[in-house]
Structure 1
Amino acid sequence: MGDILYSKFPDLTLSQHIFHLTNPSSSQIVQNASLKFLQTAIEEKEMAPLYRYLAHPTEGILNMLGEGTSAQPTADSYGMTAIRRTPSNATNLLATRRPSLTVSLPWDEALYEKLVKANEAELEAIKKEEEEAVEKAGDTEVQSAKGKRAEFWTRVGHKDKGIAEYETLFEKTSILGTKIDIVLAIIRTGLFFGDKLLVKKTIDRASALVESGGDWDRRNRLKAYQGLHLLTVRSYSLAAPLLLDSLSTFTSYELCNYSSLVVYAVLAGSVSLKRVDFKTKVVDAPEIKAILGDSSDKLAALSGALSAGPSAGDEDMPDAGTTTSATPRPAAVNLTTLGQSTAEEQDAESAIDFSSLADLVGSLYTGTYTKFFDSLGTVETNFLSQDRYLYEHRHWFIREMRLRGYQQLLQSYRVVGLRSMAKDFGVTIDFLDKDLSNFIATDRVPCTIDRVNEVIETNRPGDKNRQYADVVKQGDQLITKLQKYGQSVRLRGSERG
């Protein structure tokens, strides 16, 4: 169906830099670098609407004075309409709703006027090209000219007009592949501005188009889009298989780089997959071993010697307590697309240290719980707190991973010493008691804590006992509802008498 169209804009790396400006976990060096990147991008790409949306003294989301202003767009003296602000979208684009900026994006009225004039001149040139295409050329040239208008608004960062132009282009396009490319561009626009509802609706729309006859490449691209969206709405169990499947066929560099995809896939798989699937799809996956494994694993993965499966080296896994070297891992490499990514993309990925992620995976599977908790804290610092898609759910992820560790240890024993378990996890007895109590109260861990004797007794009822307990619980709820209904009927009958 031809090359992928409309994939250059919006630049999602720019939204990550905007996130860093308001992220209290980002270092001063990172924030300064992000500010420089953002200012350069705004000037080079002439992004007047985005500049106003971010930094305007009264309407910009980075300016505290803009909080609570009218949600209706307003036009400036040049006729440029500001992007409509909504609190939910602003929150998802930024790290916090009310950012406390140590590095701010200054407002320069002269720069804004210069960018607006450049935008008006470019729009006039596009309009002239459209008119000439209508008069002298065919439908293909007309569609190409209209596509430039849609890409223009997406490039300069105007969400509403960009989507409106893409919708117009979609209605006048008959080629299925082009329709899918347009919808994918709308999805990325929603991801850029943190509009989860728009992303969900548009992904459903793209799925229907792909199922109606989309080619293999676009089908695989959509899989990565779906996985990333599910990650942003905390559906890790649904995101994990999509992201893990995308590792071997990933080409959606307009969505994220391959290193980020590896991080998303490993984290989603670690928190949601059952132990057997975790072993097969994460611990033994060739694409992941090529990045998180030791030197021999990387060499074997690159040569194709590694294979993932239920029995792929399971007998060779080290026992609990065995430690592995925490040397920095090199950058991620997509084994199936070597040579397709640009040198700039590969250089950008080379700075990532995957050692804490590798330690998290290895220690969870081998049951090295002290190391597991240590690496979990490092992963939070290095990955969860630094990524705009992971930041919102970082506390939930850490809590679920602690629960996963507790469940994995307790399922092997009938009675466990409280002091011994606290030592295994490298925490105090009081912390373990409080943390486990919260999970016990919500029926997440089937055990009881005897603090006097300092033991934890697990309680794993059989299927029949569990079914019986469910029937009793649901029966009690039904009887309560019937009693309330009966009382209501009797009251109404007495009123009628």
Structure 2
Amino acid sequence: MATKKDKEDPKSYPDMALAELYHQAGGSEEVKAKVVELQATKLWVLWGGDWGKVPADMVKAVEEEEKTLKAALETAREEEGETDILDAYFALASFYSKIGDKDTAVTTFDEILKLGKLSSQKKLEALMGKVRIMSFFNVSPTKVLEEAHTVAEAGGDWDKRNRLKVYKGIDCIVGRDFETAAKLLASCVKTFSCEEYISFDGFCLLTVILNTLNMTRVDLKKDIIDGPEIRGALREGGGKLAREVCEALHSCEYATYFKAVVALEPVLESSRYLSQHKSFIVREMVVKGYQQFLQSYKSVKLSSMAQAFGVTESFLDAHLCRFINAGRLMAKIDSVEGQVETTVADKKNQQYRAIIEDGDKVLNRVQRLSRVVDV
């Protein structure tokens, strides 16, 4: 695992940890102090509704720094070579990213990309900087990532290609493509070098949660539970709790698993990448627990299953009915005998259900379009 990059490195801005802190604490004094430290005047305007007017000394310092950086760029254009011009551009883009001026930062990165004789490495540096500032403000960077992937495949070095996997993985999380995200993040655990985007602890938290949902038990044990990097990172707080969820599922300790999943909800809420998916993730973890348990039985007493999960029979009955009716569990409940019986999925029935669901989606879209046209 790489150490944190130098804070003066252009790749270090915007401060992504600040975006996470703002998600958790809003316009708190802690956030305010960090904004002042960065002299992020644009963030003060956006976030500081209760902070009052932007301090005059901060405004003056930012104006002077911008003036100095622009002057350095002009000097480089007039007197120096392409390398110096490029460095001056990156310094300016870093400055705008630091103070939270998204639009000007993006414009500056675009100006860099238009420069002649730009190497693949510098193109990637600009594109990755653009991704970060967009992500900081919750603007989808998917198209920029696609462009970066094309450049990386043509001539990017190993480090940038590896870091792009993390960037892409996080973008997939936002778009709820958890399966792709899980694979990308898991592939980077041993080679993580992306502190400019997310801390290693934060990265490991995402990796554990998503792979608990998507990995097989064998791979989960090998790649996640026994992974020394993850064990070393997630030793306390939400990270430790995520590990407990993962380990309890693997060990088939279902009552412990259920309690840990419930306790994990505030951790999901505190993550700017996972909070919008909190209910979905909890539901999928519940389903995975039920699926794993039922795989071992042709039939099982409802009372025995309820005891295993540490819940009442009535709660379990209602829960199972919900997921069975939704087609998420291949089982049926014999209420007379108090039994849960697993069923073998019929491929044709599954295909029929998928066709019906797809047809419903198309019909809903047509109806919405029809209403728009009528208006």
The whole-number CA distance in structure 2 between the counterparts of 1:474 and 1:446 is: 15
SS in 1 for 2:10: coil
- Give the CA deviation at 1:452: 3.1
**Bigger CA radius of gyration:** 1
Aligned counterpart, 1:431: 315
Aligned 8 A contact 2:25 2:31 in 1: no
**Could you give the per-residue CA deviations for residues 301-334 of structure 1, whole angstroms, max 9, x where no partner exists?**
xxxxxxxxxxxxxxxxxxxxxxxxxxxx3xxxxx
C-alpha distance in structure 2 between counterparts of 1:290 and 1:474, whole Å: 42
CA RMSD of aligned residues (A): 2.4
Q: With the length of structure 2 as denominator, give the TM-score of the two structures.
A: 0.86
AA aligned opposite 2:253: T
The equivalences for 1:18-97 within 5 A come to 18-22=22-26, 35-56=28-49
Q: Which stretches in structure 1 are left out of the alignment for 5+ residues?
A: 23-33, 57-105, 293-328, 330-350, 478-497
Structure 2 distance, partners of 1:284, 1:128, is: 54
In the TM superposition, what whole-angstrom CA distance separates every residue of 1:11-30 from its partner, at most 9, and x where no partner exists?
001111111124xxxxxxxx
> 2:356, 2:213 → 1: CA distance?
34
Structure 1 distance, partners of 2:281, 2:352, is 33
Deviation at 1:379, TM superposition (A): 2.2
CA distance in 2 between partners of 1:35 and 1:211 (Å): 43
Equivalent residues, number: 351
Matches within 5 A, 1:86-485: 106-109=50-53, 111=55, 113-172=56-115, 174-196=118-140, 199-290=141-232, 329=235, 352=237, 354-381=239-266, 383-461=267-345, 466-469=346-349
Residues in 2 aligned to 1:37 and 1:474: alpha-carbon distance in whole angstroms: 49
| 2:20 counterpart residue number | 16
Is the alpha carbon distance of 1:411 and 1:7 closer, same or farther for their aligned partners in structure 2, counting shifts above 3 Å? same
SS at match of 1:448: strand
1:214 to partner: Cα distance:
0.6
Following TM superposition, by how much is the alpha carbon of 1:448 offset from its aligned partner in structure 2, in angstroms? 1.0
AA paired with 1:180? L
Distance 1:138 1:252, change over 3 A: same
Indicate the structure with greater helix content: 2
CA distance in 2 between counterparts of 1:135 and 1:286 reads 53
Amino-acid identity (%)? 29
Which stretch shows the higher mean deviation, 168-177 or 263-272?
A: 168-177
Alpha-carbon shift at residue 290 of structure 1 (Å) = 4.5
Task: Find the aligned partners of 1:181 and 1:360 in 2 and give their Cα distance.
Answer: 37
Secondary structure at the aligned position of 2:340 is classed as strand
What is the CA-CA distance between 1:110 and the residue it aligns to? 5.5
Distance 2:160 2:71 in 1: 33
Alpha-carbon shift at residue 424 of structure 1 (Å): 0.8
C-alpha contact 1:6 1:181 (8 A) present in aligned 2: no
> Contact (CA 8 Å) 1:6, 1:182: kept in 2 or not?
no
Q: What secondary structure sits across from 1:456 in the alignment?
A: strand
Residue 208 of structure 1, CA deviation = 0.5
* Distance in 2 between residues matched to 1:355 and 1:147, nearest whole Å: 38
Distance 1:429 1:149 in 2: 63
After superposition, what is the alpha-carbon deviation per residue over 1:178-234, rounded to whole angstroms, capped at 9, x for unaligned?
1101111111112111112xx111111111110001111111111111112212222
**Equivalent residue letter for 1:136:** E
Give the CA deviation at 1:282.
2.1
The unaligned stretches of length 5 or more in structure 2 are 358-375
Q: 1:38 to 1:288 in 2, by over 3 A?
A: closer
**Structure 1 pair 241–473 and aligned structure 2 pair: CA distance change class (3 A):** closer
Between the aligned partners of 2:243 and 2:352, the Cα distance in structure 1 is 45
Query: Is residue 172–residue 180 contact of structure 2 (8 Å, CA) maintained in 1?
Result: yes
Shift, 1:362, TM fit: 1.8
**Any conservation in 2 of the 1:17–1:35 contact (CA below 8 Å)?**
no
Give, in whole Å, the separation in 2 of the partners of 1:377 and 1:394: 11
* Cα distance in 2 between the residues matched to 1:118 and 1:372: 52
1:474 Cα deviation from its structure 2 partner: 8.4
What is the distance in 1 between the residues matched to 2:349 and 2:91?
63
Q: Is the alpha carbon distance of 1:364 and 1:159 closer, same or farther for their aligned partners in structure 2, counting shifts above 3 Å?
A: same
